[in-house]
Amino acid sequence: MCLHASNSPLSYIYSSVDPKANSKSLSHNISPITFKFRNFDSKDGQYEPLSRKFASGSKIHDLNDTRFLITCGSAQSRLNSTVALSNNPFELKINQNEASPLPASRQCHSCCSINSSLYLFGGRTSPGRSLPDAWKLSMNTTRSFDWIQLEDMPVSRSKHSSVAISDTEILVVGGLSTDDTVNLFSIYSTITNTWTPLHINIIKNRGTRNILIEDLNLNSFSLIYNQTNQIGSLIGGMKLGVPGSNEISDTVYNFSIDLQSNQVDIWIHLKDELVARYGSRAVLLPAVGRLQDTILIVGGVSLKSLTSQTTVVQISQTESEVLLVPFDSPESWSESPLFVGFDLFVDEEDGSIWIVGGGAVCYLFGSKWNQLSCISLEKDMDSPLLILCPQC
């Protein structure tokens, strides 16, 4: 993507750049999934609290409602506020109990949820100052949110990832600023409020090189865990094992966890240039029709410029092919490219996927934020269609 300084709200990309230029040499097949990209702006500033980047959040269930919580991050400065996005009805609410303790303002942290609680891990207050703390956010009887501080992680982390692997356990991976590979994969128990490191067992793939444990200490990568088949995936990100190398991983690692022996088995699932992204987000699509074990990788920064053809790709935990998921209109993508620092939320009840937050800052021309968007999943025979639009 070529960016240039402009005060125009619609001028981000040089008109001489062909959005498909870097895709012409790709040999990848096209997915049956397509994006129809529609933009909409905040009315009267109602979505302004979402104008933040490098925040994190997750979905929680609240009585008969589903809420998407996004917390902390940075705007002009780092934040410690929380936004609740609800689509029943569609509204934004900020009901944080002022009497409860609050996490320090931060960005580059990680969040996930179990049932009606959001869990927050680590992050950083400034470059080089990572945090080890852990927090739980739950709704109280007055329908406001209370923060509860939990047992610290064994090590500080930032730009890491976390995911629930059961109704009581959360996996936290990567983001270590040290060579402490003992705690690279750690399990947090919501029952005992304790941390358990996992022993890493590397499984060699025929025809591929052996995995180095140092290669698994990633930051700004995507983490998926499929509780149905009990397989997880580490996707892309920057390798931290060799300081100063700034190497972006082009690998999808699959893994399984044995909680009885506290061991994680990990192997190379696939390698592809379109996986090599920093700051991308990934979601496991609802299992509908042919969308079994299907993952969408969205956005991020790549050495190979991401275009309307390659910003979104599709992979499977069982197949080794990477498929292109092009936007239906390169022009609409050009008018509103997807900036980094966003988060994704999936609502399994209706199959919708929300893109929240993210942006870019120029200290001369100001900030530009991603617009709130929703990807709706619709079926047309056995060929699914993804439509990117506001609350549909």
Q: What is the pLDDT of residues 83-129, one digit of tens each?
A: 887 754 444 555 667 777 889 999 999 999 998 899 999 999 998 89
Question: Residue 378 — very low, low, confident or very high, per pLDDT cuts 50/70/90?
Answer: low
Question: Residue 44 — very low, low, confident or very high, per pLDDT cuts 50/70/90?
Answer: low
Residues 270/251, Cβ–Cβ less than 8 Å? yes
| pLDDT value of position 63 | 57
* Percentage of the chain exceeding pLDDT 90: 45
Give pairs for 196-199: CB < 8 Å, separation 24+: 196/262, 197/154, 197/262, 198/257, 198/262, 198/263, 198/264, 199/261, 199/262, 199/263, 199/264
| pLDDT value of position 365 | 72
The answer to whether residue 15 scores a pLDDT higher than 50 is no
Position 159: which residue type? Answer: K
| pLDDT value of position 372 | 79
Find the range with the poorest average confidence among 74-78, 162-166, 256-260.
74-78
Structure-model confidence comparison of residues 268 and 304, the more confident one:
268
* 3-class SS string, 284-340: ECCCCCCCCCEEEEECCECCCCCCCCCCEEEEECCCCCCEECCECCHHHHHHCCCCC
The answer to whether residue 162 scores a pLDDT higher than 90 is yes
Burial label for 42, CB within 10 Å (0-12, 13-18, 19+), is middle
| pLDDT value of position 185 | 97
Enumerate the domain spans of the chain. 21-389
Find the range with the poorest average confidence among 43-52, 182-191, 273-282.
43-52
| pLDDT value of position 380 | 43
Give the domain 21-389 fold: Neuraminidase (2.120.10)
The answer to whether residue 146 scores a pLDDT higher than 70 is yes
